[in-house]
Structures are given as structure tokens and as C-alpha cells.
Amino acid sequence: MQIYDLIQKTRRLVPLSETEIYTLVEGFTKGEIPDYMMSAWLMAVCCQGLTAEETSALTMAMRDSGECLDLSTLGVPTVDKHSTGGIGDKTTLLVAPIVAACGGHVPKMSGRGLGFTGGTVDKLESIPGFCVDLPQADFMRITEEIGCCIISQSGELTPADKKIYALRNLTATVDSIPLICASIMSKKLALGASCVLLDVKYGHGAFMKTPEEAVLLADLMVSVGHQAGRECRALITDMNAPLGSCVGNALEIAEVIRILRGEERGRITELSLALSAQMLVLLGKGDVVECRKMAEEALTSGRALEKFAAMIAAQGGNAAVTEDLSLLPQAEVQLTVRAPESGFIREIQSEEVGLACLGLGAGRTADRAKIDPGAGVVLSRFVGDEVTKGDPLFTVHGSSEALCENAAQRLLQAYSYSEEYTEPPQMIYKIVE
């Protein structure tokens, strides 16, 4: 089979067979197909797309490129949750302990951040001692005993995805719906959870810029999940403004703890409760109204905080951070920036916020593998808030005054104002079942 012919077929909208797709994925994973040929095929996919059948075959080929976990040995239903990424998105760190406190089991493998979107693993590693690289036996044991465990993606799972994603990132082929679907769902299916909830985002800080694009992606992923025999649904959610008040690894962990302690509540809390309710529904705990009440009670009672602390301790971290936030990494410089004019905040461009934090060292670039866990930004005002010139707008956390000044200038450009009140965007656009 000539790879040249497969590239030609995709470019000319001739569907590939399942065998052809498996050959392509297997050959590239083993190093038998060179990068330049795989790059050409990925660009053909990006320009011409794939059929639903091809996307499903690509997903399964990537899933089967490595080990698949068998979570059925736990003897209980399990639920996985995946977000397509966003600025300040820390919902995994909230829903996992909330669902666990309701009797659910959440085995979660998460990734590191690349670019301006933060990775859940990076955030957890800002907790002193927290270990994200656990043997499979420990991962299963902690999930069974506590109800939630979050580790980094195993190199044994979906090695094809890791290799293909690295190439996509270098060849401007990341924002392809079939490729995004195959990347996400191959990992979800390899993990082996019996149910999967997807949080598919749209807006400035997301791969999908419109809700319509997000629905297309969600429909495809849910369909692939069902074909693989998984209970699967998706929420389409807004990413036109940062999620929560903090962006940056240790800063977001601190925000999660304050929410679990009941000290803060906002849009990120409401979204996390909605996601938790849907996860509990998938686990058969009741209807959405009943499950929302269960999630709310788990949060307000403090039981979710107890689960979070127990997970931290079980994974080698210092659980005392849930009582003393000063144990988390702190930035050397903090710069508070004030509103340059009066009015209502009409918009906060989330992508610009992410890029500003990237410049502070809170994110990872291709030439910078190390991140600054204490860097980031804390927002004081949000979309819809009325501000008077001189009011605190945000505080930049960084390792030097120069970095903070540069980030502050970029962040100021992310804000726009109006003379009249602007309704904050609707958090949940649609549920795809």
C-alpha cells in the first residue's frame, strides 16, 4: 500500500477504508512513515475533512496503537470528563471531588499545557509533593478507595495520538474537527471509563470559535463514543471570557480550594455543578435535578473539599494546602492594574489573557518546557461589572517587574467597555446527548 495514494485519495475526497487508516496510523507510530508524508495527509484532512466512518476508524486506530486500561475490575461504573480547553478552566479539579463525594468514581488522565491553555497536570504539580506519574495499580487503588485520581497520560496509552499531535502542532493542522475528535476520543476510549462527559468550548479562547462549530465537534465525538459502546454526552459551553477569577497554575489551585471551602462562588462554580450533575446522571445516580442537588450538597457540606484533600495526600502531595494557601508557590512580584476608564466591562478577550500569562511563564511553548507555577493573573472585575476609573482591574503575578509590566499592557488590551450594562454570555449553550 503506497502512502502517496492515501494522501491523493483524501485530497480528492475519496474515503479511506478502515484497513488503510489502520495502516497509516500504525506505520507512522512505528516510524515507517516519515513526518513529511504524514504532514501532507494531515493537511489534506484539515482542508478536505473526513467522513464520520473515517473519523471513527481513525479514532479506533489511535486507541489501538497502545495499551487500553480495563477499569471493569473496579466493579463499579466509572465516569471520565474531558474539556476541549480554555483560559482558566479548572473544572476537572472541582468536578472530580464533587462526584467522588456523591459516591461516583472518576479515574482521570490529564495532559500538560502547551501554549496559552493551562494543563490540569501542571496545575496539580504546583501543589508541593503532588505526584502525577503513578503506576497503574496505584491509579486503580486510589480511584477505588477515594473515588477520584488524576494522573498524567501514560506513554503506553495512545502513543499514536502523542506523535500525531506533536506533528499537528508544528504544521498548523490542530483546528480540524475530525482530528480533534480522534485525538480526544482515542484517549477517552483507551482509558476505559464506562461513561464520558465532554465539555466542548467555543469562543475567543477555544479551538471552536462559534457555537455551531462546537456542536459539530460534539455531535461527532458523542457519535464515536456511542459506536464504541460508551455512555457519552456533551455540554457546549462559552469560552469568550476567562473561567473563574484566576489564570495560572498555583493561582487556580488556590481558587479551587476557596470554592471548595465555600469562600467563593461564580460562573466557574455553576458550570462545575452542572458538569457534576451530568456525570452523576451518566452514572445512574438519578435525574438531572436530583443529581444537581447531590452535587450542591457535596460542595456546600465540605465533603468535596475532604475528597480533594484525600486525593492530594494519596498522591503524595501536602494536603495542608487546603487549609493554608501560603504553602502554594508564590510569585516574587505582584502588580495591581487599575481601570483606565469608567463604564461597564463589555468583553475580556480570553485568548489575550492566556497569551499574557504565557509571557509570564505560566504556560509552555515549544522552546520552553519549564513553567513558573506562581505566575498568572487574578481578575478583580468581570464582564458586566461597572467600574470607575482607578478601580482595581486585575493583579499580575510574575518573577520580575519587567515581565509583569509587559503582561499588564497586553491584558489592558483584552478589555473593552461600554456605557450600558452588558449581559455576561450564557454559560451553557446546548447539551448534546
In this structure, the strands spanning 231-238 and 195-202 are: parallel
Asked which of 306, 322, 338 is the last residue of a domain, the reply is 322
Asked which of 303, 322, 341 is the last residue of a domain, the reply is 322
For 382, the domain range is 330-418
- Say yes or no: 139 and 277 in one domain: yes
User: What sign results for the dihedral spanned by CA atoms 414, 391, 244, 358?
Assistant: positive
pTM comes to: 0.93
Active site residue 82: yes
> Which set of grid coordinates corresponds to residue 13?
475526497
- Say yes or no: 49 and 112 in one domain: no
What one-character-per-residue DSSP string does 128-183 give?
TT------HHHHHHHHHHHSEEEEEPPTTS-HHHHHHHHHHHHTT----HHHHHHH
Q: What is the tens place of the pLDDT at every residue in 50-61?
A: 999 999 999 999
- Say yes or no: 339 and 318 in one domain: no
CATH of the domain at 115: 3.40.1030.10
> Which set of grid coordinates corresponds to residue 305?
473539599
Residue 19 confidence (pLDDT): 96
Cβ neighbours of 54 (radius 10 Å): 20
Cβ neighbours of 425 (radius 10 Å): 16
- Say yes or no: 309 and 348 in one domain: no
Kindly state whether residue 424 falls inside one of the protein's structural domains: no
Task: Identify which of 266, 272, 274, 270 has the alpha carbon closest to the alpha carbon of residue 383.
Answer: 266
Given the residues 63, 82, 123, 162, the one annotated as active site: 82
Active site residue 183: yes
Active site residue 389: no
Given the residues 162, 187, 230, 397, the one annotated as active site: 187
In this structure, the strands spanning 415-418 and 386-387 are: unpaired
Given the residues 183, 186, 194, 350, the one annotated as active site: 183
Q: What is the strand order of the sheet 246-247 is part of?
A: 246-247, 376-379, 392-398, 333-338
Given the residues 163, 168, 188, 397, the one annotated as active site: 168
The one-letter code for the residue type at 285 is: K
Active site residue 168: yes
CA distances from 292 to 27, 200, 379, 422 (A): 46, 20, 28, 28
- Say yes or no: 261 and 317 in one domain: yes
Asked which of 302, 322, 342 is the last residue of a domain, the reply is 322
Q: What is the tens place of the pLDDT at every residue in 125-135?
A: 999 999 999 99
- Say yes or no: 274 and 355 in one domain: no
**Number of domains present in the structure of the chain:** 3
Active site residue 219: no
Task: Measure the N-to-C terminal CA separation of the chain; round to a whole number of Å.
Answer: 39
Mean pLDDT by 10 residues, the chain (433 residues): 92 96 96 96 96 96 93 92 89 97 95 72 96 94 97 86 88 90 94 94 86 95 94 94 93 98 94 97 96 98 98 98 98 97 94 92 73 95 94 97 97 95 86 91
Given the residues 80, 161, 238, 372, the one annotated as active site: 161
